[in-house]
Amino acid sequence: MNRPYVYCLTLPLALTAAGAFAAQPISVVQVDQPAPLVQLAQATVQVIAPTAPPPPRVEVIPPPPSPTTTVWEAGYWSWNGSDWTWVTGHYVERPSPQAVWEPGHWMKQANGWRWIDGRWNVAGG
């Protein structure tokens, strides 16, 4: 059995002639299928810092919420375009039991320091 989906669209608050704001409904649309899901491509942003990052901070690693399904992702320095900011470490869910986290790191190159994203390495994959 197909269930109809109903969407009600409204305009953002519109300024009336008197200067007051009021919501204005546009229409009600009934369709027989839900809107398709759109998968967006992941964009890769290259971060180049002009100087080396400061030394890593010492972090106290708390007990894991689940020792078998989570992995500690250590904190690291991030370049925001004008200064270094510390990103605190945290636990992340393992995508599979065999997955091993390869942490991100800064690599020296001719025009500065380039950030290499961390990634999951799955044995046999």
Output the pTM of the full model: 0.61
The amino acid at 65: P
pLDDT in tens, 4-41: 444 333 334 333 344 444 444 444 444 454 444 455 55
Looking only at the bridges linking them, the beta strands covering 76-79 and 70-73 are unpaired
By mean pLDDT, which of 28-37, 54-63, 98-107 is the weakest? 28-37
**What is the rounded CA–CA span in Å between residue 125 and residue 2?**
39
For the chain, give the number of residues.
Answer: 125
